[in-house]
Every structure is written in structure tokens, then in C-alpha cells.
Structure 1
Amino acid sequence: MHRKLVEFRLRPDDVSAIRFGISPGHELVHAVRSLARPAENPLQWGWLRQARDVVPRPAFELLRTVVGEDGYVPDFLTSEPSWDLDPAEEAARRRRARLPGMQVDLRKRVDRSAGRERTALLRLLDDPHRARAVIAEAADAVWDAVLAPSWSQLERVLRADIVARTRVVTTAGIGAMATALHPAVDWSADSVRVELTRHEETVDCTGRGLVLVPSVFARRCSVITEPPAQPTLFYPALGVAEDWHREGVAHAAALGRLLGEGRLSVLLALREPLSTSAVATATGLAIATASHHLSALRDARLITSRRSGQRMLHARTPLGEALLAG
């Protein structure tokens, strides 16, 4: 088979051109594909055993038709990945997706479909306003049933992956990080190359950069290259095992016994850098108590603190992320 490469061209050795993000919508699409083809997703079997009993079937079947079982992902289902993209915010964007763009995406799916699936997609195109509403409603229903209960665990895996990759950048360089993303990914001084099965292209990322997005559900790499979307590379996240989905009650209880409930609540609150007063507000602790817990966590190297203007901002370290991720 001919080797197909997508090459993301960057300015030579421009570390700032690469950043990381998280995409709840991308996880939703690939969760639907995992439910559609469970035998091909052994790392999801634990989650699948739970999800198959609660998935809303009509909503799932509609979404399965829209996303297909492999290949192209309709862009209107997802937002540009970012570090703090909220699933509810992304769902709201789906409900107000631009109709022309949605129609283009659905026509691309029509071109890749046949039989009943093609007929169903053409029926959606007959009434774009209704299609947008029912697709958004179906996405919300599937998310609420099968992903919302596991989102905190899933998000921890994604964030732990990003922290681990970022640490590699600081210790071994961006090239070492990029080549360790996946066997299909290669790096040179001015480009990131991805080997794919169906697509090849050279993308000039100068001035736009490249977003790297870990995924719990994706089995292999995929890309977004078509303007005006941000050039994006999705890759399988580190640390995905069959039990990634399990409710962290036992793990949280053990951490509570280890750290104390107050310090654990502070560590959990630091999903993003927060000031001491913000930590106190998020945890319901007095500022003096929050400051005491932050000091203990910093001494244990589970968080780091830095001054920003008049405030001291606190963030988890890679060790803190790994501890929460279990």
C-alpha cells in the first residue's frame, strides 16, 4: 500500500507553534464508533460493558449515521480543541452550528456512504434546520448517558497525557516529544509528519501553529487540515487501560486517607492555575486553611506556585497529575 503522509510545516525549531488541547466532541464521536464496533476496541471493553446498557438507542443510531464508523468526522460536531474547553459550551455551539458548514459536512458523509445510511443522510439534508436540532439533541442524549458519568476520569487521563508530553519537551526537546506521540508520527526541524491510510497533504502552519490533542477513544492518529479550522493532530493518549472508566471512589478514598480530605480537595480544585483565594472559594475552606494545605502540597512537590502580579498562582505538577490519574 502506498504510504500517505500529512506534513504540517512549521518554522524551523519553533516550539511556540505547537500547543495542546482537549476535545470533548472528538471523544464523543469516537465513543459512538467504539459502541458501533466494540470488537475493534479492546481498551474500551470495560466502559462498553457499562455504556451498552444505558445508551439511548434512537439517539445513538442517528449519531452513528452522522459520524460513520471510520474516517471523516463532520467538523460541525466538534469545536477547536483547547485546554479548558467545557463540554456544555461545546454542546451549545453544536446547537447553533452554521447551517452552510453543516450541509457541506453532511454532503461529505453522503459521498462516503451507501444504502440506508446514504438515504438517511439525504433526508437530513432536506431540512437543515431540523437536522441541526435533532443531531444536537442526539449528541446531548448520548453524551449524558455514556460519557458524562465518566468524564472526570477521562479528562484526568487526557490532562495527565498533556502534562507528561510537556515534561518531555522541557527535558528532551520538542522533537523527542513529537516522535513519541505515536509510531505514525515523525518530526524534523521544520515539520511534523503523520502517516495515514487515506489522506496525504502538506499543510503550512506558519502563523497558525499546530494543536496536538490526546484521545482516550481514538485507536490511531487523525488530522484536521482544511481551513478555516486550526491544523490539528489527534493521537491516542497515554495510560489508557481497560479500567480507565471506573468511578474513582476507591481511588479518591485512598488519596483522602493519604493526603487528608482538605488537601485532596485542594489538589482536585487545581484543574487550572488558581490563586489562594480562588482555591479557598472552590473548596469552601478558609483562606488560611487553603494556604496551609497548598504549602504542604508544594512541599510534597504535588503543586508548584509562582507569583503573577499581586497574586500567587498554584498549579499541579506532573507528579500531582499522575497521583490523581491513578
Structure 2
Amino acid sequence: MLTLRVDADTVARTRLAPSPASESVAWLKLTAASGRHPVFGDPGPLARASLAHPDVALLADLLPQNGDTYTPDLLTPQPGTDAQRRDVLDEQIAQIEAAAQDDLETQLFTYTRTHWSRPLRPATRRIAESGRMQRRLANGLARFWRDALSDGWPELRSIIDQDIAQRATAIVTHGVGRALGALHPDIDWTGDAVTLATSWDGDIDVTGRDLVFAPSVLGRPDVVVQVDTPGKFVLYYPAQRIGAGRDRRSGSIEQVVGNVRAALLADLETARSTAELATRIGYTPGTVSYHLSALHRARLVTKVRAGRYVMYQRTARAAGLLEEARG
């Protein structure tokens, strides 16, 4: 059992917050392992195509595989308190880029050796030792987010916000301790500590520190505690009502994250240019161009130059995905 010792100051600073970085890392882990989410299913071709980018591949190489039990905490920074003034993901990406070299080396060289069944690849170690890894990891997270999750964040954020609102009501009605103890069967409140049922024992002093509880959608059903970055404590628990009211037949995250791209694919039975598509679906040419590039990398559209224009058309694979979604 893991015990987090708290005091009145910790309780006063305990908060609930979304973590888009954690959602991205959870989705990337599933993508790299060819896994499926229990509600949202297969990550899909856009997520897999993103793995071809070297910075996304580097990020994926630092995620647990084949029963490994450790994800470096620096990949999922503690969400800050200024979400109203700044985008939470931008803030987390900036924290990754600013991670101290000593913390990075401790997590990658020491903790992975303890908790992984495989050694860190020599090429990955060299990048870490060069001092360039923080920037590349930040870029990899930003790239995977844009390619695979940005379109669907409003719906995922809605699930998270609903969970936070319900927990906040429970705190007002029943108090902090009872509300925290109801987060998950593996989490308990003892009056002076938060305990978590784990396969390893530990006792950590978090007095006077922020303790953040982050509802997780794509990391479900796991409960994860993050304590290895000095002064940064986060506990991730499964959000409530994931998939409530959704049609499970599709089993695809594309139903959640593909609003713009689905509209493009639906309109590309006939070859069309970027400018024509922008006019037809009501987005700027730059936005349309970005999404077409992602669809092309995932082999869901073809492109052919015709005079001054580049014409896009959906592939047979994309047509099959659309048909499956309709069914």
C-alpha cells in the first residue's frame, strides 16, 4: 500500500484538474501497443500514422511495454492552476521542455532500470544525455495531440468536467475526505493520509504541497499515482460515465475525435481542392490543409496535381471506415 501523508495545508490545496498530457500519453501507449480502449476501441490510422514522426516515436519509446509498470512522470506534468488564463496542454508541454536534466536522467536511467523488463535503448540514452530530449518530447506530445486527439478534446473534456463537477458537489455536501475516499475502490482516506492499494509499499510526505486528482478517460481503467517529480503529486482515477449514451457498435475513437476529418472524408467521394473544401465545410483553407495532410499520412485520402490545384479524394479504406461508422 502507498500512503500519502497530508496536513491541513495539503487538504486546503487539494484540487481536481484535467490533464490533456496524460490523456495523450494513454492514447499513444495504446497506439504503440496496437491495443484497444474498452469504450473507444482502436486508436485508428491517424494515430498510427503519427508514430512515423521521430519525436512521437521517441515519446512512445519511453512508455511501458509488455508488463512494465513505470511511465516517467516528466511526460505528464502536474496540471497547473491557471487553466483560465492559459491552455492546460500548452502549459504541460512547456513544463516538459523545461524539465531539469537531473530529473530526466533520474527517471530514465534509474527508475526505468528498476521498473522495466527491458533496457533503455542506446540511441534513446544518447538523446537523453545530449540535453535535447526535453525539446523533442515536448514536440512529440504536441504533434501526437494535433494528429490524433485535438479534434475530440471538447467531448473528452466534457466527460472530465462532468466528473469534476460531480466530485466538487460531493466535497461541498460530504466533505473532502469522504469525497476522496469515493473516487475509486483502491483509494481511501484515513483522516491524515490518502492511501492507494498498490503492489508496492511506500510512505510519502506531501504536507504543504498541492495534491492533484485528475479524472482519466483514455487511461481507464487504471489508477495511477505520480510522485517522482519533486513536489509534484498527481493521482489519476477513472472518470465516471465514460461512454454513457454512446453507440458502442462503432468502437472507434474516430467517432469522437474526427469531426472535421469525418466531414472532409464524407465530402471527398469526388476529388476536390483545398479551396473548394474550405468553402463547402466552412473552415479556413489553412485548417483544411492541415487536416488533409493528416488524412494523407494515414492513407485515407489521395492527392493528385491538376494544373494549379492539388485534388484530394478519399481512398477505399476511408470509404470502408465511413461505411462501418454508419452501420
Query: Is the shorter-chain TM-score for this pair beyond 0.5, marking a shared fold?
Result: yes
Give the TM interval when normalised to the shorter protein. Answer: 0.5 to 0.7
> Counterpart of 1:78?
76
In 1: Cα distance, 2:20 partner to 2:46 partner: 17
- Residues 1:123 and 2:126 are matched in the alignment: yes
CA positional deviation for 1:102: 1.9
Change in 2 beyond 3 A, CA 1:91/1:169: same
TM-score by length of 2: 0.64
Selected match of 2:64 from 68, 78, 84 = 68
Change in 2 beyond 3 A, CA 1:23/1:229: farther
In 2: Cα distance, 1:176 partner to 1:243 partner: 36
CA positional deviation for 1:162: 0.8
Contact 2:22-2:76 at 8 Å conserved across structures: yes
> Counterpart of 1:49?
44
In 1: Cα distance, 2:258 partner to 2:127 partner: 40
Selected match of 2:174 from 159, 163, 172 = 172
Identity of aligned residues (%): 25
Change in 2 beyond 3 A, CA 1:186/1:115: closer
What is the aligned length?
242
Change in 2 beyond 3 A, CA 1:248/1:166: farther
Contact 1:103-1:125 at 8 Å conserved across structures: yes
> Counterpart of 2:296?
none
- Give structure 1 stretches of 5+ with no counterpart: 250-326
Contact 2:78-2:212 at 8 Å conserved across structures: no
Contact 1:56-1:141 at 8 Å conserved across structures: no
Change in 2 beyond 3 A, CA 1:99/1:200: same
CA positional deviation for 1:193: 0.8
- One-letter code aligned to 2:109: R
Contact 1:27-1:217 at 8 Å conserved across structures: yes
- Give structure 2 stretches of 5+ with no counterpart: 244-250, 260-327
In 2: Cα distance, 1:230 partner to 1:134 partner: 22
Change in 2 beyond 3 A, CA 1:213/1:115: closer
- One-letter code aligned to 1:180: A
In 2: Cα distance, 1:18 partner to 1:118 partner: 38
Change in 2 beyond 3 A, CA 1:62/1:31: same
CA deviation string 1:190-232 (max 9, x = no partner): 22111123x3211222222422111112231111224623222
- One-letter code aligned to 2:138: A
Contact 1:216-1:237 at 8 Å conserved across structures: yes
